[in-house]
Amino acid sequence: MKSPPQSKVLSAPYVLEYTYRRSVGPVVGRFLSALQEGKILGGRTASGKVVVPPTEYDPETSDPVTDLVEVGTSGVVTSWSWAAAPRANQPLDRPFAWALIKLDGADTAMLHAVDAGDIGNMSSGMRVCARFAAERSGNIRDIACFEPETSGKGAS
Amino acid sequence: MSEPVKGIKSPVRLEYTVSAGRALSRFLAALTEARLLAGRCSVCRKVYIPLRSVCPTCAAPMSEELTIADTGTVTTFCIVNVPFEGQTMKLPYVYASVLLDGADLPILHLIQIPAEEARMGLRVKAEWVPPAERRPTLESIRWFTPTGEPDAPFDTFKEHL
């Protein structure tokens, strides 16, 4: 309890929690199912672009997206922000980068964490590859994080 | 491929540290001594409980602090029939606005009475938990119980609903 001397102002923890479970729909459902198998899917739109993660509707024509294609598990960081003090339940328990990552074969970037170790290892344009979680449940966290691509790791 | 994923857990959790502020802290601390601390507005003279530093109507400071009685009148009430997580009372139970004697604003608390006997005007008294169990929370009052007095006439509390 934080209390300045004499005034004795009381404080207490207060937790507000909603234990939602939400349906993901057929398209994101297939994307999450593929993650369980270590694959990343994108949705091909009418103009031939590949959107990752796939959206249920084509952002340009609003037509349903039905053509899901596999993209690479490596890609390029297009922008990023350093999380110096990770909070509970974030993907990593040590400083990391939130990054927009354009996977090989994709036309859009997706948000995920990059385990770069140090802010000095981050740069836009760097290549990263997915590190899949040992136990997967059909969730975006089936990708534990991305990590800088080095020889011997990641996509060929 | 196994059965496609249909849903995900997506909890929202916000962890706050709430500060009670100086006036409410004193109200809460007084509860550990089985005292109900109120304040009288320096302009409208209304007595507010819990104690606050400024009148919400006049924006004027309180001119006086007073300990008010732990007896009062049920103004309005609700019979709870719906179970929810963390519930400690057996359904159905009565949750009511209690206008404490001398106060101009009711507080909310449990009433220990069969639901079908709940009514406006019911006279009640606080049942405090034993001193060793008292904490700076309104749970230091276990509930209010009927005093057995005749019901208060509606006109005596109609301005305080």
pLDDT over 50 at A3, yes or no: no
Residue given tokens 């059965």 in the structure block: B3
**What is Dmax (Cα atoms) for chain B?**
73
Tens-level pLDDT at each residue, chain B (161 residues): 567 899 999 899 999 999 999 999 999 999 999 999 999 999 999 999 999 999 999 999 999 999 999 999 999 999 999 998 888 889 999 999 999 999 999 999 999 999 999 999 999 999 999 999 999 999 999 999 999 999 999 999 999 98
A32 touches chain B (CB under 8 A): yes
Cβ <8 Å between B18 and A12 = yes
Q: Using one digit for the tens of pLDDT, what is the confidence trace for A8-62? A: 899 999 999 998 999 999 999 999 999 999 999 999 999 999 999 999 999 999 9
pLDDT band at A88 (very low <50, low <70, confident <90, very high): confident
- Minimum-distance CB partner of B20 among A11, A16, A34: A11
For residue B145, the model assigns a pLDDT of 98
In the structure encoding, which two tokens stand for residue B40, read together? 């009288």
pLDDT over 90 at A2, yes or no: no
For residue A8, the model assigns a pLDDT of 85
Residues of A in contact with B14 (CB under 8 A): 15-17
A13 touches chain B (CB under 8 A): yes
- The mean of the pLDDT values for chain A is 92
Question: B11 preceded by cis ω (within 30°)?
Answer: no
Cβ <8 Å between B15 and A138 = no
Cβ <8 Å between B17 and A30 = no
A1 touches chain B (CB under 8 A): no
A64 touches chain B (CB under 8 A): no
From A93's Cα to the closest Cα of chain B, the distance in A is 18
Alpha helices in chain B (DSSP H): 21-31
pLDDT band at A4 (very low <50, low <70, confident <90, very high): very low
For residue B126, the model assigns a pLDDT of 98
For residue A7, the model assigns a pLDDT of 58
For residue A139, the model assigns a pLDDT of 93
pLDDT band at A151 (very low <50, low <70, confident <90, very high): low
- Minimum-distance CB partner of A18 among B3, B11, B22: B11
For residue A79, the model assigns a pLDDT of 98
Record the pTM: 0.68
CA B135, CA B146: separation in Å to the nearest integer? Answer: 24
Cβ <8 Å between B1 and A33 = yes
pLDDT over 90 at A107, yes or no: yes
For residue A61, the model assigns a pLDDT of 95
**What is Dmax (Cα atoms) for chain A?**
69
CA B87, CA A44: separation in Å to the nearest integer? Answer: 50
For residue B14, give the chain A residue with the closest CA. A16
For residue A89, the model assigns a pLDDT of 86
Alpha helices in A46-149 (DSSP H): none
CA B126, CA B117: separation in Å to the nearest integer? Answer: 18
